[in-house]
Amino acid sequence: MKILEAVNVYKYFPIDIFGRKKIRAVDGISLHVASSETLAIVGESGSGKTTLGRILSGLVKPDKGKILYKGSSFNGFHGKVQMVFQNPDSSLDPSWQTYDIVSEAMNNRRKSLDSVAEVLELVGLNPAYITKYPHELSGGEKQRVAIARAIAAEPEIIILDEPVSALDASIRAQILNLLLDLQEKKGYTYVLIDHDLGRVWHISDRVVVMYAGKVVEEGKTEEVFQDPKHPYTIMLLSASTSNIPKPKINVSIQGELPSLINPPSGCRFRTRCPFAQEKCKVEEPQLYNVSREHEVACYNQF
């Protein structure tokens, strides 16, 4: 069942006062999130994945297009979508104690020491943490409290915006395990925004690969990782140091993400693509199905 859906969503950020120059952060994206699955959105920084995550959460209003929650469009917030942010230092109010941070997410009827302690236990913190201020917590503990706040709101969907990127390697595993654990217990739907393919391979069911504000490939994680169809996906897979399936052909990395103010004509990846043809300059490739659930936007066939 589709629980969350983005229909042809656009978001441009004006950068001059006349609004003529715009950063095309999200440039016509449609996707859906199925109930209880983990959808990963991958891409480099500047690919628009964070903006897309914020649009899905309702924090950012798209310029065009609709967000559908269980089939009906919504405006503003309904509390069923919560978020875990990348930077643990910024995600907790420095002048609040853990109790206040977590209980803020509860309605007045449920607000109590017991229920806060219960939620903290779910994220692996003992009740003594109730008294602590954020500056007394380590990075991993802060992220646990942030997760506790998200689940205290009893959400259905949790958007994880690079939830472990800012943490030490040894703490990352703890947090990822916790997230897997919570999903198993509570059946949350996750949208994981991450640039690390190892993590995407580890916890996602489906993956959306974004490049310069567009979706270039989408499909089941196994299928996309084992049989990548877009040269950009292949490049990302080749660059990863994690133990994930290595692509059959190796596309070495070249260049950097193009300007999102003046994106290249035609296919946006053509400036870095070793397989670019004349056609790629002229016409933008559209997403098409290579298999039932695997879509790619590229003229080449690998």
Partner 1 sequence: MKLLEVEDLSVEYHLPQGKVKALDNVNLTIDKGEVVGVVGESGSGKSTLAHAVIRLVKPPGKIVEGRILFNGKNILELSDEEIRKIRGKEISMIFQDPSSYLNPVYPVGFQVAEVYEAHENTNMRKLNGEVVSLFKKVRITDSEVRVGSYPHELSGGMKQRILIAMAIALKPKLLIADEPTSALDTTIQAEILSLLNELKEEYSLSILFISHDVGVVSEIANRMIVMYAGKVVEEGPAKRIVEEPLHPYTKALVLATKTTRKKKLFSIPGTPPDMLNLPKGCPFHPRCPYAKDSCKEWSYRMIRNHEGGVACAIYENTGSS
Partner 2 sequence: MIRKETLLKEMNEHRKTIRVATWKAFKRNKISLLSLIVILSVSALSTVGIVYSPYNPYQPNFSGALMPPSLAHPLGTDWLGRDILSRLIAGGKYTLGLAFVAILIGATIGTFLGLASGYYLGLVGTIIQRVSEIFLILPTLIIAALFAAVLGTGLLSTLLAIAIPTIPVYAKLVHSAALRVRNEDYVEAARLLKKSGPYIMFNHILPNILHVVIVQTTYYMGTGILTVSALGFLGLGVPSPTPEWGTMVGDAKDYIFSYPFVVFIPGILIAVVVVAFNILGDGLREALDPKLRRLL
Residue of 108, 193, 120 lying closest to 151 (CA atoms): 120
Does 136 help bind partner 1 (rule: CB under 8 A)? no
Q: Report what 131 binds from partner 1, partner 2, none; CB cut-off 5-8 Å by kind.
A: partner 2
Binding partner selected for residue 97 from partner 2, partner 1, none, CB under the kind-specific 5 to 8 Å limit:
partner 2
221 lines the binding site for partner 1 (CB under 8 A): yes
Instruction: Tally the C-alpha atoms within 13 A of residue 223's C-alpha that lie toward its C-beta.
Output: 17
- Whether the CB-CB separation of 16 and 168 falls below 8 Å is answered with no
> Which partner, partner 1, partner 2, none, binds residue 41 by CB below 5 to 8 Å per kind?
none
Helices (H), the chain: 49-57, 88-91, 98-103, 113-122, 139-152, 169-186, 197-203, 221-226, 231-239, 278-282
Q: Say if CB 255 and CB 269 are below 8 A apart.
A: no
Comparison of 117 and 212: residue with beta carbon closer to partner 2? 117
C-alpha 172: how far from chain center: 16
Among 5-13, 50-58, 86-94, 200-208, the segment contacting partner 1 (CB under 8 A): 200-208
Q: Which of partner 2, partner 1, none does residue 190 bind (CB under 5 to 8 Å by kind)?
A: none
**Shorter beta-carbon distance to partner 1: residue 6 or 178:** 178
User: Which residue lies nearer to partner 2 by CB, 23 or 234?
Assistant: 23
49 binds partner 1 (CB under 8 A): no
Of the two residues 130 and 273, which places its CB atom closer to partner 2 in the complex?
130
Helix (H) or strand (E) holding 207: strand 206-211
Beta bridge partners, 34, equal 2
Question: Rule CB under 8 A: is residue 203 a binding residue for partner 1?
Answer: yes
Residue 261 interaction partner, one of partner 2, partner 1, none, beta carbon < 5-8 Å per kind = none
Q: What are phi and psi of 33, to 5 degrees?
A: -120, 125
Binding stretches for partner 2 (CB under 8 A): 57-59, 77-79, 81-83, 85, 87, 90-95, 97, 99, 101, 104-105, 113-114, 117, 127, 130-133, 135-136, 146, 149-150, 153
Interaction of residue 180 with partner 1, rule CB under 8 A: yes
Burial of 116 (0-12, 13-18, 19+ CB in 10 A): buried
CB of 213 to partner 2, least distance (A): 21
Q: Which one of 25, 150, 236, 296 is in contact with partner 1 (CB under 8 A)?
A: 236
Exposed, middle or buried, 300 (CB in 10 Å: 0-12/13-18/19+)? middle
